[in-house]
Structure 1
Amino acid sequence: MTSDPSARLSRRGVFSAALALGSAVLLPSAAATARAAGNRAPGTGGRDGATTPPITDCGGWGAREASEEVVVLDTRPERIIVHHTASANVTDYSRERAHALARAIQTYHMDVQGWIDTGQHFTVSRGAFVLEGRHHSLAALDAGDRLVRGAHCVGQNSVAIGIENEGTYTTAEPPAAQFSALADLCARVCRQYDVSPSEIYGHRDFNSTACPGDRLYAMLPQLRQDVARRLGGTEAVPLPRRPVHASADWSADPAALAGSLAEYLPPGLLDPVRTR
């Protein structure tokens, strides 16, 4: 919700109503009809010529247009914030499922939450497909000198890239391929924006939430190290510093606080997601 800086994003959702599993999933948008499915092939898209992960843009997965102009800031992000969708840990790892997920997220964010577009910048499906979330996020990443204002973490939407990971990771770990794709994406973000791997955080580091789940949160040190290796680093990655743009509800001990909170979505609420 780029135009509503005071609004709070909860992990509830990404789809708590049948609406989120219907209209955006069943009907292709005009953009999807007009354009071929848009996975950008891996290649030399980074500013330093390094190989980059393929990302499906909004047109490729059938996004609706944003309800108002998305704000593009003339600044680089300072960090990455990792989320989980708190949705079912499905075993459908197909591209079709990934695209349906992206449409359902957008429908929930726009039609139920009332936001102008998808809240996060990127989504990684359980099948390891990487998708653009909010419009223009991929173009901003390619440019390396601008940031789309997001709606994924209170107090951080103008300074951080938000990445959603499909699934609920309170007691289960993400599939290995999904975690690897997340590391690839984080490495691309760090490379393009000159962000240190030590500046990768979980949502709970800033807001009172269990997101991204205890198991995925516990894997963040490994994620930082994996990203550093992809960038050519060999030294141990230091722990993140205390955020300088923390919101008012940032806890002095966020991990302890978040561990006491329940997950938001009832099990199975998103299963199955119907595909078009």
Structure 2
Amino acid sequence: MPSRRSVLAAAAGVLAGLPVLGAPGTALAAPGPAPAAGSPIPDTLASKLAVNARRKADESKFPLTHLAVGWTGPADGAAVRVRTRSGWGDWTALHGCDGGRDGRAVAKRALINVPGGVGYELTLPGTGTVTELNTVDGPTRATAAATGSSTPLSTRKVGRPYLSRAAWGADETLRFTDDGVERFPADYYPVQTVTVHHSAGINDDPDPAATMRAIYYDQTITRDFGDFGYHLAIDEAGRVYEGRWSGTDPFPVYGGPLGPGGRPRMNNAAHVGGFNAGNVGIVLLGDFTGRQPTAAARRSLTYLLAAIVALGGLDPLGTTAYVNPISGATKTVPTIPGHREWAATLCPGDLFFPELASVRQDVADLLG
């Protein structure tokens, strides 16, 4: 029987020698740089508070980088304004990319960037919580691992920079309770679909690794997923980030023994409530309700999708009669769906969602 490593390498080899989508000289977006190897990784500062429809904090407990808000009641009607040292900003409506673990209620939640924030005011359509976060100013917890020149799911010809959890600074202790119990144990299944998300109210500016740490804390602790909910993330410069922990080897997404046909199996995650097992989740960092992803991010998405469907023997232009191997829940969706094809959500954004048809075609063209 072939090893998992040889299967991954063979599937990646399908992409070898094929032209890179987009002109090689295409300019990349310029979010903050990835952490250099050996640079300090700060501990995340966090404070979670209950909110009864409205909360005003003229001074937060510490300078803010992000706010994580959850609420009951209607999806519409939540809003926030942020105070910096120069004064109060405008009110901004909150919306998010809701997800969750199979078998659990899916709450309405939003995570937003608030760089320079020192206070905030919230209004909610019901009761809720707010978690104040600072992912850049805490005491040093670790040092960053090196950024890879290519992702493990593809060949180096693709050349998409890759940050493992150790490179962007995931605090692995968060995955365990104080008693040492893993919050979301690994559980591996054959891949049936690959779902595309956007991060909605949160983007990668000015520090993508800090944004990854904010999403990680919010989903692991505040939302009680037990880990990062998506398998992979992509920033606006096209860098790829390992999300959900999948094992001790260097490959993201996959783990455990090989599945039917000698194909690798994905680790269960928490990005589409009720339909996670067998469903790989990729999130683009940004809100694509009113704009498109960068060419660099879209190119990385295409290559990741191509590698994953090749590994799974899937048809990128086909549909899948998905069956949740845990609950038995079923749904027929495109093999590469957007989040809104599973649930009532704006994800992956009103402007980008119609583009998924051309993304699927790009994947098929890449695989020949």
TM-score normalised by structure 1 residue count: 0.69
How far apart, CA to CA, are the structure 2 residues paired with 1:5 and 1:158?
11
2:166 counterpart of 1:59: yes
Q: Which has the higher helix share?
A: 1
Q: Mind listing any 5+ residue stretches in structure 1 that lack a counterpart?
A: 234-276
Instruction: Read off the aligned partner of 2:365 and give its amino acid letter.
Output: R
Native 8 Å contact 2:253 2:280 kept in 1: no
Kindly tell me: are residues 107 and 150 of structure 1, through their superposed partners in 2, closer, same or farther at Cα, counting changes over 3 Å? same
Deviates more, 1:56-65 or 1:191-200: 191-200
What's the counterpart of residue 148 of structure 2? 40
Kindly tell me: are residues 11 and 223 of structure 1, through their superposed partners in 2, closer, same or farther at Cα, counting changes over 3 Å? farther
How far apart, CA to CA, are the structure 2 residues paired with 1:145 and 1:55?
20
Which 4+ residue blocks in structure 1 deviate beyond 3 angstroms? 1-4, 13-18, 24-30, 43-46, 49-54, 69-74, 88-92, 137-144
Matched ranges for 1:215-230 at <5 A: 215-230=351-366
What's the counterpart of residue 111 of structure 2? 13
Instruction: Read off the aligned partner of 1:226 and give its amino acid letter.
Output: D
Identity percentage of aligned residues? 29
How far apart, CA to CA, are the structure 1 residues paired with 2:112 and 2:244?
14
Deviation per residue, 1:168-211 (Å, 9 max, x gap): 11121111111111111111211222222131100000111111
TM-superposed deviation, 1:18: 5.5
Native 8 Å contact 1:120 1:151 kept in 2: yes
Matched ranges for 1:137-176 at <5 A: 138-141=251-254, 145-176=264-295
Native 8 Å contact 1:14 1:108 kept in 2: no
Kindly tell me: are residues 50 and 173 of structure 1, through their superposed partners in 2, closer, same or farther at Cα, counting changes over 3 Å? same
- SS of 1:81's partner is strand
How far apart, CA to CA, are the structure 2 residues paired with 1:106 and 1:149?
16
How far apart, CA to CA, are the structure 2 residues paired with 1:9 and 1:147?
25
Kindly tell me: are residues 124 and 43 of structure 1, through their superposed partners in 2, closer, same or farther at Cα, counting changes over 3 Å? closer
User: Relative contact order, CA 8 A, sep 6+: which one is greater?
Assistant: 1
Instruction: Read off the aligned partner of 1:131 and give its amino acid letter.
Output: Y
Kindly tell me: are residues 43 and 36 of structure 1, through their superposed partners in 2, closer, same or farther at Cα, counting changes over 3 Å? closer
How far apart, CA to CA, are the structure 2 residues paired with 1:227 and 1:175?
17
Larger radius of gyration: 2
Native 8 Å contact 1:190 1:196 kept in 2: yes
Aligned length in residues: 221
Q: Which has the higher strand share?
A: 2
How far apart, CA to CA, are the structure 2 residues paired with 1:130 and 1:158?
22
Let me know the Cα RMSD of the aligned residues: 2.9
What's the counterpart of residue 197 of structure 2? 83
TM-score normalised by structure 2 residue count: 0.53
Native 8 Å contact 1:82 1:202 kept in 2: yes
Q: Mind listing any 5+ residue stretches in structure 2 that lack a counterpart?
A: 1-98, 114-128, 177-181, 318-334
2:316 counterpart of 1:202: no
The structure 2 residue matched to 1:113, chosen from 220, 223, 242, is 223
